[in-house]
Amino acid sequence: MEMLNIKINGQDYQVPKGSTILEAARANNIHIPTLCYLKGINEVGACRMCLCEIKGGRALVAACVYPCNEGMEVFTNTPVVRETRRAVLDLILSNHNRECTTCERSGVCELQKVSEEMGIKEIKFPPQKKETFTIDEVSPSVVRDGSKCILCGRCVAVCRDVQGLGAMGPTGRGFKKSIDPAFGMSLAESNCINCGQCIINCPVGALKEKDDTDKVWAALADPTKHVVVHSAPSIRAGLGEAFGLPVGTLVSKKLAALLRRIGFDKVFDTNFAADVCIMEEGTELIGRVTKGGVLPLITSCSPGWVKYAEMYYPDLLAHVSSCKSPQGMMGSILKYHYAKEAGIDVKDIFVVSIMPCTAKKYEVARPELAVNGIPDNDVSLTTRELARMAKQAGIDFNALPDEEFDSYYGDYTGAATIFGATGGVMEAAARTAVEVITGKEAENIDYEGVRGIEGVKTAEVKAGDLTLKVMVAHGGANIRTVMDKLRAGELKDVHFIELMACPGGCVNGGGQPIVNAQDKMFRDIRVERAAALYHEDKDVLKYRKSHENPSVQKLYKEFLGEPNSHTAHEYLHTKYSAKPKISK
């Protein structure tokens, strides 16, 4: 790699050719503040907080976009740099609703952090808002508060370039400029898929999830309700971050303890339903392969992807699995099997799911995710909402003992836990499908060809004389690439496709703990969180294949019969239909 010799603040450094000043500085532990910068996604120099001085230069330059040159001398802390950054920050703050004590992002707000670093005590400029910004809270998943928006463009870039949607964009000019859906619509009326990627990439509190914690507190206080909870695979790989633990810390057993301390009557695990999902989806795949059904079969675990398909690929919905997501399956199982076994009227059971995903809130409200008009789940909370409940209850998460989930519906395999990483559903399905097709125990069940964060992956899975060709894609833009090829007839030899709306899969869901853009510059949190799930799969759990789960075997014997049976279809399957879209 060709290196360049530069000076930063009088010190000599060697940096790779092609580095920006910001990359060079941060690689050498020199802090330059940023707000609009998002590595690989939004590198536009819009906020001007990263301005630096170059020796011999006539003007300050934006470090996030200015390339390093041989012999360059950069200054990041001169009086003019500090004064200019301060003036820029004062202007941003003058146009920002500073209700920090009541904002969900307090403590993890990048604007708050920069203000603290720069020693802001007062704002020189008077407030410049020309009109009152209304809060858009029509969506079941995402709330927009324009009074807190700093116009950094990060949400726009993520939605447009990473997710391939463009649900929001800039409108107006000057102090009247804002970020909105087209035609003055709410997000609920736009082509938003509720994924929440805008939330986790917003530096401030302008975007947040719809808070449903009050509904859960009310249910817990209602003596007529039996309140049960189940938590998704990715929660155990992300929740610890909300309590100061390193990214990717596995907290499965503290999670179970926390849910009990909050007051839930029973603490179960969505992983149980993930194992059931593999039984159903794997059987559906085998049936289509052996009996000439519509191929490729596409997974239906991600509600953001399902909505994407309904809007943009309604002609290809026959390819989408009829299986409900693990969230939907778990709710149905709890209301129609657990409730019966426990002698509880289905109307008296209240099911709460803890999900890494804001789109799960949208899914809970879908009529397709109900049986006899009764929703499978009553409330879906994000990882962040669960963390807030823990803090409201005064629970010291890190001091909690290790505890197990309640048995039967809290029993799961490693195949279920890797659902949270991109490629995980595919790998879990392969572990079962291969052994069902061959009737033999597989020698190797680590299908590493479908792992990793490459946007689109292809692999082959050998099942005796049969070779299954599979694909994995994550993030809306990559999904569009795959689906356009399918529509064009270019994937006729593919048997099975896993699609996840969020980049990296559920570990990077829109409801996960916020990670500062600066912290994500030299690390990939998707990889670190996924590593925790693969560790639990391989090193912690007794069973690693869904069909080996004794409690799942018991469920089929007692309740469902066979995978894809009439009873299974009544409670665990659904169907989707076309939905209107407004753009693209």
Helix (H/G/I), strand (E/B), else coil: 100: helix
Peptide bond into 503 cis (omega under 30): no
> In the chain, what percentage of residues exceed pLDDT 90?
93
Has residue 424 got a pLDDT over 60? yes
pTM of structure = 0.96
The DSSP string of 466-506 is: EEEEEEEEESHHHHHHHHHHHHTT--TT--EEEEESSTTSG
Identify whether 281 is a catalytic site residue.
yes
pLDDT of residue 134 exceeding 90, the answer is no
pLDDT at residue 82 tops 50: yes
Reply yes or no on whether 68 is catalytic.
Answer: no
| Longest distance between any two alpha carbons in the chain, whole Å | 80
Among 110, 363, 435, 548, the active-site one is 363
Mean pLDDT of 5-20: 97
Section 76-91 average pLDDT:
96
| Catalytic site residue from 116, 341, 368, 448 | 368
For the cut 70, the answer to whether the pLDDT of residue 389 exceeds it is yes
Mean pLDDT of 247-260: 98
- Where are the domains positioned within the chain? 3-93, 95-209, 214-572
Catalytic residue among 192, 301, 323, 502: 301
Domain 3-93: CATH class, spelled out: alpha beta
Give me the catalytic one of 53, 209, 281, 548: 281
Check whether 130 has a pLDDT greater than 60: no
Of 307, 335, 360, 457, which residue is the catalytic one? 360
Alpha-carbon gap, residue 482 to 484, rounded angstroms: 6
Helix ranges restricted to H, 222-325: 235-238, 252-262, 270-291, 303-312
The string of pLDDT tens digits covering residues 565-578 is: 999 999 999 999 99
Say how far apart CA 225 and CA 546 lie, in whole Å: 32
CA distances to 83, 89, 262, 515 from 76, in Å: 12, 16, 48, 24
pLDDT, average across residues 169-193:
91
Which of 116-120, 125-129, 174-178 has the least mean pLDDT? 125-129
Location of structure tokens 């929001």:
168
Tell me whether residue 490 is one of the annotated catalytic residues: no
Report the 3 state secondary structure along 198-254: HHHHCCCCCEEECCCHHHHHHHHHCCCCEEEEEECCCHHHHHHHHHCCCCCCCCHHH
Structure tokens at 499: 């699609």
Whole-number Cα distances in Å, 9 to 17, 71, 76, 542: 19, 13, 7, 55
Say which CATH architecture domain 95-209 belongs to.
2-Layer Sandwich (3.30)
Which of 172, 162, 143 is closest to 358 using CA atoms?
A: 143
Q: What is the pLDDT of residue 582?
A: 60
Rounded to an integer, the average pLDDT of 19-47 is 96
Q: Which of 474, 482, 568, 576 is nearest to 530 (CA)?
A: 474
Active-site residue identified among 19, 241, 506, 546: 506
426 or 173: whose pLDDT is higher?
Answer: 426
- Tens of pLDDT, residues 498-525: 999 999 999 999 999 999 999 999 999 9
pLDDT, averaged across the chain: 95
Other CB atoms within a 10 A radius of the CB of residue 113 amount to 16
The answer, yes or no, to whether residue 584 has pLDDT greater than 50, is no
**110 catalytic, yes or no?**
no
Give the separation between CA 73 and CA 553, rounded to whole angstroms: 68
Residue 152 designated active-site: no
Q: Match domain 214-572 to its CATH number in 1.10.260.40, 2.60.40.10, 3.40.50.1780, 3.30.1330.10.
A: 3.40.50.1780
Q: What is the pLDDT of residues 533-580, one digit of tens each?
A: 999 999 999 999 999 999 999 999 999 999 999 999 999 999 999 988
The predicted structure's pLDDT at residue 131: 57
Respond yes or no: is residue 557 known to be catalytic. no
User: How many whole angstroms separate alpha carbon 136 and alpha carbon 395?
Assistant: 32
User: What's the confidence (pLDDT) of residue 388?
Assistant: 98
What percent of the chain stands above pLDDT 70? Answer: 99
DSSP one-letter code for 92: H
Is pLDDT at 301 greater than 80 in this prediction? yes
| Range scoring the smallest mean pLDDT among 145-149, 388-392, 401-405, 409-413 | 145-149
Active-site residue, selected from the candidate residues 104, 284, 435, 528: 284
Q: Looking at the predicted structure, is the pLDDT value of residue 43 above 80?
A: yes
- Which band of pLDDT confidence, cut at 50, 70 and 90, is reported for residue 132? low
Q: What angle do CA 523, 529, 534 make, to 5 degrees?
A: 125
Q: Confidence band (pLDDT; 50, 70, 90) for 125?
A: confident
Query: What CA–CA distance (Å, rounded) separates 129 from 120?
Result: 20
Segment 252-267 mean pLDDT:
98
Q: Regarding predicted confidence, which is higher, 95 or 248?
A: 248
301 catalytically annotated: yes
Predicted confidence (pLDDT) at residue 175 exceeds the cutoff of 80: no
Say if residue 368's pLDDT is above 50. yes
Is 506 in the active site? Answer: yes
